[in-house]
Amino acid sequence: MLIARVLTFVGAILLSNATFGQNKSLSTPEIEAQIEEDLANMSLQEKVGQTCQITLDVLLKKDAEGKLIEPVEIDPAKVQEAIVQYGVGSVLNVGWKTITLEEWEGVMDGVHAPFNDKETKAPILYGIDAIHGVNYTVGGTLFPQEIGLAATWNPGLAMQFGQATAYETRASGVHWNFSPVLDLGRQPLWSRTFETLGEDPFLVSEMGKAIVCGYQGDGGINSEHVAACMKHFVGYSNPSSGRDRTPAWIPEKYMHELYLPPFKAAVEEGALTVMINSGVVNGIPGHENYELLTEILKNEWGFEGFAVSDWEDFIMLHTVHRTAADLKEGIINAINAGVDMSMVPLAPQYQEYCKLALEAVEEGSISEERLNDAVRRILRVKYIVGLYEKRMNQAKKYDDFGSEQMHQLALESALESITLLENDGVLPLNKNQKVLVTGPTSDNLIYLNGAWTHTWQGDNPLFNTEGRLSVREAMEVYLGEGNVLFSQGAELYLDEGFEASKLSDTEDFKAKAAQSDVIVLCLGEFPCTEKPGDIRSLNLDAAQLELAKMAYATGKPVVLVMIEGRPRIIRDIVDDASAIVQAYLPGDFGGEALTQLLFGDANFSGKLPYTYQKYDGQIEFYDHPRSVSRHKANHFYAFDPQWEFGYGLSYTTFEYSNLQIDKSTIEEGDSIIVTLDVTNTGDREGKEVVQLYIRDHYASMTPAVKSLKAFEKVTLGAKDKKSVKFVIATEDLQFFGKDGEWISEPGMFSAIIETLTADFELK
Ligand code: BGC
């Protein structure tokens, strides 16, 4: 039972760096033999159908005006055409909003009917974007978005998030989750930064593996698990313009040292599927990159699952990227590069896809061997997730769907993610104070959740989860309505597709500020993702800055809470704040978590998973080369963030001492043990993330000033001391050299933890 496991798990692993499986293969000789038998019995057309994915809308009943009927209902004639006649192998998504468990059951009955009735030889694999919990099922549990999960620096918690989400996804009858995003968050303008696990490849790898393990199970997939999907292979997150699906230029060194490692780690964890980058890297569309898809992912890393395209991307090779002269050439290029399934996903495009792909195989432009390889991979995943077994998706068997334990886990995740950046002593707030809650993100769940919540863009409050609380509501429940004043302050909206804001009733704001003892000012962003989420500047907009200045002018202490998916620049409003809190997009339990933290019922332990930038013209990351941060004393110094990667305060204080290494020289293949003591020097319990960085002193290619190589989150009672141990292998000292190979070079290295350093030599 999930919950029993969750509870033991909390005790056992929550605060340690769990070790996840290495090079897991989830297939068996029996499955492989069965696949060969199935392949031998399939026609070319049936095989092509397996590589075709359509969106659910294509199969739903519509009214005379073409609008979806509600509650959603499968149209058997459309199923007959797509799944039986064309042999379509996969379906994705929801109509356009969250549906109920009962509606899901009807959908699943409809899409599985042809296989259950033996009209098709392979079952449908259904995929969905349950990226921060089950966001398309009414009553599903909504966790912080990935960027917040990363800020917990707690792989045990990330794994539990994965388990809970897999469980609720299966309760909805779905076997495949398009998650986790393993793209590196190194372009803060990019609208999907909140979907990433931050800027550092090691942090992303550790948290990503943990999520995959939670989704797929540690000992194999059962009826509480789903297939994971690593997204979006690779380099999608770094568009030069900052705008979604525009080109990225990534040097080979950075591709290997930064962007590829999280995917490699997830492949080793056994991740079953991968979704391809919709953009173009170094002039080559992600969907045509043979070297990355076939040579590296499949051949070098031994990835045994399948690669699905992103939305309409075979078509876009022709219509947008212009590397294919027509639709058929797009299909040929993508499949030959190594993409196994096309998210076509609309009608009549899917019929066209099936026709053209079949023609391409018949004329030899795509070999039958390549088609077989794609289908083999798709069937393998279908067998592994249990689709050929008796269906186990009836809602009644998943009694913990949306249960109190699930809610506790989501609350715990939000509590561990929210990060305290400044505090002059105003926090924790006093329960006898009168609080003014204000700001555009303070009074609606849509701001706490962001996109991929009930709808794609997550901006429609009509679908907010019943019973969950905004920041204002959570404060009112906590303090009693009479002790909380509310003024909107400012509003966020879209103006010709771009975010905009305006001040609300300023007189109301001033009058209520005058009656309050402290102001909790919630600023941030309008929910959005992908191209609709494009912005033109990282600076926070003028009206929100003005509202902050109005708040400071009242003379009351101001607690600034940033509810946002990326580090928007707030340089001009930092100094006058009494406290600053980074909430990220904390999910349905964010209001409650924030309230508990602000009033000191819980302690802050989140740490920034990204560099919080101070200037939009100077975007640098913590692992920059030395040239970026020389001459600290003058303006040559180009690394000047608002707050550094890994930073976050607590209500208690920690002291680091006694850093030791077990040897001062090591040889290739050897490892070094680093130990230190951490003491809680304050008077309340707290959790601290101990972070180990390595600095290479000299190398044949300019090294980073430091790189994260290990971390562990520890809990310490007041005045408690703990010893923490890390093991560094010589592999951790390697870099991607001039000859295109990972190499080690002899020389001096430093192990750095907080302000402590120990040097050692690689012989
Ligand atoms: C997004 C993917 C998502 C897919 C299916 C695409 O537009 O880029 O991340 O999984 O749609 O919804």
The token pair that represents 555 in the structure block: 């003379």
Q: Is any atom of ligand 1 closer than 6 Å to the C-beta of 206?
A: no
At 724 the three-state DSSP class reads strand
Q: What is the pLDDT of residue 521?
A: 99
pLDDT band, very low/low/confident/very high, at 743 (cuts 50, 70, 90):
very high
How far apart (Å, rounded) are the C-alpha atoms in residues 392 and 170?
A: 8
Per-residue pLDDT band for 22 (boundaries 50, 70, 90) equals low
263 C-alpha to ligand 1 centroid (Å) = 17
Q: pLDDT by residue (tens digit) across 175-189?
A: 999 999 999 999 999
In 418-467, where does DSSP find H-type helix?
Answer: 445-449
Residue 756 forms beta bridges with which residues?
Answer: 753
Q: Which atom of ligand 1 is nearest to the CA of 232?
A: 9
List the domains of the chain with CATH numbers.
24-126+300-398 (3.20.20.300), 141-270 (3.20.20.300), 410-598 (3.40.50.1700), 652-762 (2.60.40.10)
Note the pLDDT of residue 17: 40
Residue 397 has what pLDDT? 82
Give the C-alpha separation, 707 to 661, whole Å.
18
Confidence of residue 481 (pLDDT cuts 50, 70, 90): confident
Strands (E), 129-211: 176-177
Angle at which helix 471-479 crosses helix 590-598, to 10 degrees, equals 50
Query: What long-range pairs does 4-13 form, CB within 8 A, spacing at least 24?
Result: 5/163, 6/160, 6/163, 6/164, 6/405, 6/409, 7/405, 9/156, 9/159, 9/160, 10/160, 13/156, 13/159
Residue-level pLDDT at 392: 44
Is there an atom of ligand 1 within 6 Å of 129 CB?
Answer: yes
Residue 315's pLDDT band (cuts 50, 70, 90): very high
Ligand 1: does its nearest atom lie under 6 Å from the Cβ of 146?
A: no
Question: Average pLDDT over the chain, rounded to whole?
Answer: 95
Average pLDDT over residues 356-381: 98
CA distances from 628 to 239, 622, 624, 647, 733 (A): 21, 10, 6, 20, 21
Phi, psi of 754 (to 5 degrees): 55, -125
| CA quadruple 48, 51, 52, 53: dihedral, nearest 10 | 160
The gap from C-alpha 61 to its chain's centroid, in whole angstroms, comes to 33
pLDDT tens string 441-469: 999 999 999 999 999 999 999 999 999 99
Four-point Cα dihedral 168, 1, 273, 134, nearest 10: 10
Judge if the beta carbon of residue 311 lies within 6 A of ligand 1: yes
* pLDDT of amino acid 53: 98
Residue 522 CA to residue 435 CA, distance in Å, equals 13
Q: Ligand 1 centroid to 278 CA: how many Å?
A: 9
Residue of the CA atom closest to atom 11 of ligand 1: 311
Residue 582 beta carbon below 6 angstroms from any ligand 1 atom: no
Atom in ligand 1 nearest the alpha carbon of residue 127:
5
d(C-alpha 704, C-alpha 711), whole Å: 18
Alpha helices in 338-403 (DSSP H): 349-362, 368-384
Which residue minimizes the CA distance to atom 2 of ligand 1?
310
The strands making up 747-753's β-sheet, listed across from edge to edge, are 665-666, 756-762, 747-753, 686-696, 707-716
What is the model's pLDDT at position 636? 83
Residue nearest to atom 8 of ligand 1 (CA): 310
Confidence of residue 695 (pLDDT cuts 50, 70, 90): very high
Which of 672, 669, 674 lies closest to 731 in space, CA to CA? 669
Going by pLDDT thresholds of 50, 70 and 90, the confidence category of residue 673 is very high
Lowest mean pLDDT among 73-82, 238-247, 386-395, 423-432: 386-395
**Average pLDDT for residues 596-602, to the nearest whole number?**
98
Contacts of 132 (CB under 8 A, 6+ apart): 142, 143, 144, 145, 146, 149, 449, 452, 453, 585, 587
**What's the gap between Cα 505 and its chain centre?**
37
Nearest CA to ligand 1 atom 7: 311
310 is catalytic: yes
Share of the chain above pLDDT 90, in %: 92
Q: Which helix (H) or strand (E) holds 214?
A: helix 201-216
Q: What pLDDT is recorded for position 94? A: 86
Ligand 1 centre from 109 Cα, in Å? 24
CA of 275 to the centre of ligand 1 (A): 9
Ligand 1 pocket residue status of 57, Cβ below 6 Å: no
Residue 1 reports pLDDT greater than 50: no
pLDDT above 60 for 583: yes
Which pair of tokens denotes residue 385?
């997730």
Index of the ligand 1 atom closest to the CA of residue 181: 9
Token pair for 72: 């959603």
**CA-wise closest residue to 590 among 493, 488, 453, 460:** 453
**Do residues 100 and 89 make contact, with C-beta atoms less than 8 angstroms apart?**
no
Helix 404-417, helix 155-171: angle, nearest 10: 140
User: Ligand 1: does its nearest atom lie under 6 Å from the Cβ of 231?
Assistant: yes
Confidence tier at 23 by pLDDT (50, 70, 90): low
**Residue 309 in contact with ligand 1 by CB distance below 6 A:** no
pLDDT beyond 60 at 10: no
Interatomic CA distance for residues 662 and 674, integer angstroms: 7
pLDDT tens, residue by residue, 131-167: 999 999 999 999 999 999 999 999 999 999 999 999 9
Instruction: Output the residue whose Cα is nearest ligand 1's atom 6.
Output: 311
Average pLDDT over residues 214-227: 93
Q: Please name the helix (run of DSSP H) or strand (run of DSSP E) that holds residue 686, with its range, or none.
A: strand 686-696
Residues 186/187/188/193 CA torsion (nearest 10 deg) = -70
If we measure between CA atoms, which residue out of 621, 639, 567, 607 comes closest to residue 754? Answer: 607
| Ligand 1 contact, 564 CB (< 6 A) | no
The Cα 618–Cα 247 span in angstroms is 20
Q: Is the CB of 588 under 6 A from ligand 1?
A: no
3-state secondary structure 45-63: HHHHHHCEEEEHHHHECEC
Q: Is 195 in the pocket of ligand 1 (CB under 6 A)?
A: no
* SS3 category, 635: coil
Query: What does the alpha-carbon distance between residue 567 and residue 199 come to, in Å, rounded to a whole number?
Result: 12
Check 38, 129, 200, 310 and give the catalytic one: 310
Residue (of 156, 132, 128, 157) closest to 142 by Cα position: 132
Structure tokens at 343: 């998210």
Distance 667 CA to ligand 1 centre (A): 46
Give the pLDDT confidence of 99-137 residue by residue, as tens digits.
Answer: 999 999 999 999 999 999 999 999 999 999 999 999 999
The arithmetic mean of pLDDT across residues 595-622, rounded, is 97
Mutate to test the pocket of ligand 1, among 311, 455, 529 (most ligand atoms within 8 A of CB): 311
Quickly count: other Cβ atoms within 10 Å of residue 495's Cβ. 9
CA distances (Å), 294 to each of 86, 264, 372, 386, in order?
A: 27, 14, 15, 27
Q: Nearest Cα to 592, choosing from 439, 403, 408, 425?
A: 408
Q: For residue 106, how far is its CA from the centre of ligand 1 (angstroms)?
A: 24
Which residues lie below 8 Å from residue 551, measured CB to CB, with a gap of 6+? 438, 513, 519, 521, 558
Give the distance (Å) from ligand 1 centre to CA of residue 97: 15
> What's the rounded mean pLDDT across residues 562-570?
98
Closest CA to 174 of 79, 70, 93, 59: 93
